[in-house]
Amino acid sequence: MSTIDQPHDDAGIHVTPFPVIEPGHTFGSVTDKISALTLQRRTPIWWFIAFGLSFALANVLLFSIAYLVLTGIGVWGNNIPVGWAFDIINFVWWIGIGHAGTLISAILLLLRQSWRTSINRFAEAMTLFAVACAAIFPLFHTGRPWLAIYWLFPYPNTMNIWPNFRSPLMWDVFAVSTYATVSALFWFVGLIPDFATLRDRAKSKPFKIVYGMLSMGWRGSARHWARYEALYLLLAALATPLVLSVHTIVSFDFAVAQLPGWHATIFPPYFVAGAIYAGFAMVLTLTIPLRVLFGLEDFITMRHLRNSAKVMLATGLIVAYGYMMEAFTAWYSASEYEGFMMKNRIWGGPYWWAYMLLILCNVLIPQILWLRRMRHNTLVLFLVSLVVGVGMWLERFVIIVTSLHRDFLPSSWAMYRPTLIDFSTFFGTIGLFLTLLLLFIRFLPVISIFEMRTILPQAEVKEEEAA
Amino acid sequence: MKRRKERPPFYGLMAEFDNPTDAVAATRAVREAGYRRIDAFSPYPVEELSEAIGMHRTNMPLIVLIGGLVGLIGGFGMQWYLSVINYPLNVGGKPLNSWPAFIPITFETTVLCAALAGIFGMLALNGLPEPYHPVFNTPNFALASRDRFFLLVESRDDKFERAETAAFLRSLGPREVTDVEY
Q: What is the CATH number of the domain that holds A346?
A: 1.20.1630.10
pLDDT of residue A1: 35
Asked if residue A200 has pLDDT above 50, the reply is yes
Pairwise CA distance, residues A423 & B27, whole Å: 62
Cis peptide before A445 (omega within 30 of 0): no
Asked if residue A17 has pLDDT above 70, the reply is no
Helix A222-255 / helix A86-102 crossing angle, nearest 10 deg: 150
Other C-beta atoms within 10 Å of A383: how many? 16
Chain B CA closest to residue A187: B119
H helix or E strand, kind and range, residue A28 = helix A27-38
Q: Is residue A97 part of a domain?
A: yes
Q: Is residue A214 part of a domain?
A: no
Higher-pLDDT residue of A85, A23: A85
Pairwise CA distance, residues A439 & A43, whole Å: 11
User: Are residues B40 and A222, on separate chains, in Cβ contact within 8 Å?
Assistant: yes
Amino acid at A279: G
Taking the CA of residue B162 and the nearest CA in chain A, the distance in Å comes to 22
Higher-pLDDT residue of A155, A88: A88
pLDDT digits (tens, 9 = 90+) for B7-51: 667 888 899 998 899 899 899 989 888 888 899 999 999 988 998
Chain B CA closest to residue A188: B119
Q: Is residue A203 part of a domain?
A: no
Chain B CA closest to residue A252: B104
Pairwise CA distance, residues A59 & A13, whole Å: 56
User: Are residues B144 and A28, on separate chains, in Cβ contact within 8 Å?
Assistant: no
pLDDT digits (tens, 9 = 90+) for B59-107: 999 999 999 999 999 999 999 999 999 989 888 888 999 999 999 999 9
Per-residue pLDDT band at A204 (split at 50, 70, 90): confident
Asked if residue A53 has pLDDT above 90, the reply is yes
Domain count of chain A? Answer: 1
What number is the average pLDDT over the span A51-56? 96
For residue B105, the chain A residues in CB contact (below 8 A) are 165, 170-171, 174
Chain B CA closest to residue A240: B111
Asked if residue A462 has pLDDT above 90, the reply is no
User: Are residues A213 and B131, on separate chains, in Cβ contact within 8 Å?
Assistant: yes
Other C-beta atoms within 10 Å of B113: how many? 22
* CATH class, B10-54+145-181 region: alpha beta
What DSSP line would sit under A76-143, residue for residue?
S---SS--S-HHHHHHHHHHHHHHHHHIIIIIHHHTT-GGGGGTHHHHHHHHHHHHHHHHHHHHHHTS
For residue B32, the chain A residues in CB contact (below 8 A) are none
Q: Is residue A216 part of a domain?
A: no
Please report, for residues A66, A70, A85, A129, A176, the alpha-carbon distance to residue A138 in angstroms, rounded to integers and kept in the order given: 15, 17, 11, 16, 11
Per-residue pLDDT band at A5 (split at 50, 70, 90): very low
Please report, for residues A292, A348, A375, A431, the alpha-carbon distance to residue A173 in angstroms, rounded to integers and kept in the order given: 39, 36, 38, 24
Of A231, A242, A466, the CB nearest to B28: A466
Q: Is residue A372 part of a domain?
A: yes
**Phi–psi pair at B180, nearest 5 degrees:** -110, 115
pLDDT digits (tens, 9 = 90+) for A155-183: 888 877 888 899 999 999 999 999 999 99
The full set of domain ranges for chain B reads 10-54+145-181, 60-125
**Confidence (pTM):** 0.90
Other C-beta atoms within 10 Å of A391: how many? 26
Collapsing DSSP states into helix, strand and coil, what is residue A220?
coil
For a pLDDT cut of 90, what percent of chain A falls above it? 58
Contact (Cβ atoms closer than 8 angstroms) between residue B146 and residue A220:
no
Of B25, B79, B119, the CB nearest to A231: B119
pLDDT digits (tens, 9 = 90+) for A320-338: 999 999 999 999 999 999 9
Asked if residue A251 has pLDDT above 50, the reply is yes
H helix or E strand, kind and range, residue A314 = helix A302-332
For a pLDDT cut of 70, what percent of chain A falls above it? 96
Pairwise CA distance, residues A417 & A79, whole Å: 9
Cα torsion A230, A231, A234, A239: sign: negative
pLDDT of residue A145: 84
What DSSP line would sit under chain B, residue for residue?
-PPPPPPPSEEEEEEEESSHHHHHHHHHHHHHTT--SEEEE-SS--HHHHHHTT----SHHHHHHHHHHHHHHHHHHHHHIIIIIIS---STT--TT-HHHHHHHHHHHHHHHHHHHHHHHHHHHTT------GGGGSTTGGGGGTT-EEEEEETTSTT--HHHHHHHHHTT--SEEEEEE-
Amino acid at A426: F
Contacts 24+ apart (CB under 8 A), A86-89: A86/A137, A86/A418, A86/A422, A86/A425, A86/A426, A87/A137, A87/A138, A87/A140, A87/A141, A88/A137, A88/A138, A88/A141, A88/A253, A88/A396, A88/A400, A89/A393, A89/A396, A89/A397, A89/A400, A89/A401
Taking the CA of residue A409 and the nearest CA in chain B, the distance in Å comes to 23
What range does the domain containing A86 cover? 27-191+239-457
Q: Is residue A1 part of a domain?
A: no
Asked if residue A367 has pLDDT above 90, the reply is yes
Residue B179: strand pairing partners: B13
User: Are residues B46 and A461, on separate chains, in Cβ contact within 8 Å?
Assistant: yes
Taking the CA of residue A442 and the nearest CA in chain B, the distance in Å comes to 20
Taking the CA of residue B5 and the nearest CA in chain A, the distance in Å comes to 25
Collapsing DSSP states into helix, strand and coil, what is residue A189?
helix
DSSP 8-state class, residue A6: S
For residue B94, the chain A residues in CB contact (below 8 A) are 166
Hey, of B39, B62, B120, B122, which one would you mutate to test binding to chain A, going by the most A CBs within 10 A of its CB? B122
- How remote is the C-alpha of B66 from its chain's centroid? 18
Taking the CA of residue B34 and the nearest CA in chain A, the distance in Å comes to 17
Per-residue pLDDT band at B5 (split at 50, 70, 90): low
User: Are residues A461 and B129, on separate chains, in Cβ contact within 8 Å?
Assistant: no
Q: Is residue A414 part of a domain?
A: yes
Sheet with B149-154, strands from edge to edge, namely B38-41, B149-154, B10-17, B176-181
pLDDT of residue B84: 93
Return mean pLDDT, chain A: 89
Taking the CA of residue A18 and the nearest CA in chain B, the distance in Å comes to 24
User: Are residues B42 and A220, on separate chains, in Cβ contact within 8 Å?
Assistant: yes
Chain A CA closest to residue B76: A165
What number is the average pLDDT over the span A73-83? 90
Collapsing DSSP states into helix, strand and coil, what is residue A446?
coil
